[in-house]
Amino acid sequence: MGIMAAWLKGFAPFAAMVMVECLDIVSTTMSKAAMTKGINHFAFVVYTNALATIIFLPIFICHSHRKKTPTPLTFSLLSKFFLLSFVGITLVQNCAFAGISYSSPTLESALSSLAPAFTFILAVFFKMEKLDLKNRKGMMKVMGTVLSIAGALIITIYKGPAILPPLLHSGQNTYSTNSVSMILGATNNWIFGGLIIVVGSLCFSIWNIGQAAILERYPSEITILFYYFFFGTIQCALLTLIVGEGSSVWALTPNIELISVLYSGIFGSVVPFSVITWCIKKKGPVFTAMFQPLGIAIAAFISSIFLGEALYIGSVIGAVLIVIGFYGVIWSQSVEGKDETHGVVDGLQSVSPLTPLLES
């Protein structure tokens, strides 16, 4: 009995992270379906984060009454939460959902695996990560980063022939009506969507750096998450009012649009953040990062079944390169000694380049 309990306890983080990847891909797939039906992606981000804020509000209140906050909530600290929300929600989420609206969840999942490569580049630039090309670990980091970026370029620029045709379409009229203009338009949308997602991945890397530095100085995850969702909702609402075309952008029909908002708010925001935080405490951030490429395969499978999207050879080749590069960077980080200064990719525990701002 004791051996079985220990085995289940050790297996739980693995099952939890697989669950998180599945929930995340289902969320992006449902959001794609909702945006196809007509929901505005800016309003979609507002609704999902507003729901997450409402869910976290009673948790935040109970937490505040039970435990004293580690540091008083000063204007300076709230400003840092505001900036964290701006990068992590206003930029990252809007780029992600805009990219999905122009491309597909499979592309978003593949290009999101660029975040570790971008993080490594930022870490080297800000001298948070040592780059020694004379040893195997340094070479592996560089090669992994180059492979990831090359894979992203292939996925974005080259689609190639479909190796898995759309499952929900007969395909009889695929090339028979206005094929040239339709193909050119779809290709342009695919490239534009990919570029937006790449920008979102870069912003996510910047957000990781800032989040780690704030957590190091204010170790209250619930408080940070509440203000993260709260400020993000306000920022995205203002953005939607500015870029939206009248009140029609707020329209929300009680079909896949409403279901997608409810699902993404609960299972695309609240649950994943809670589970990932728990897994990081149990196994560390490298463990949670290793499951990210799993989303590529899940996204391709779910998008093909539920959205009827074809799987292209360019996506497969690019995804393979990204995964190889991703694990190359992660491996080089994991073999470094625990006594060395950890880089951002291996847990984001070192001093951030935003330290002067965070200590203000």
pLDDT digits (tens, 9 = 90+) for 123-136: 777 666 666 777 77
pTM to 2 decimals?
0.71
Cα torsion 167, 169, 173, 178: sign? negative
User: Is residue 94 within 8 Å of 47, Cβ to Cβ?
Assistant: no
**pLDDT at residue number 230:** 95
For residue 71, name the pLDDT band (cuts at 50, 70, 90): low
User: What does DSSP say about strands 311-312 and 162-164: parallel, antiparallel, or unpaired?
Assistant: antiparallel
Confidence of residue 182 (pLDDT cuts 50, 70, 90): very low
* % of the chain with per-residue pLDDT over 70: 68
pLDDT on residue 231: 95
162 phi and psi, to 5 degrees? -80, 125
* Separation between Cα atoms, residue 279 and residue 331, nearest integer Å: 19
Rounded-to-10 torsion of CA 62, 93, 313, 171? 100
351 backbone dihedrals φ, ψ, rounded to 5°: -70, 135
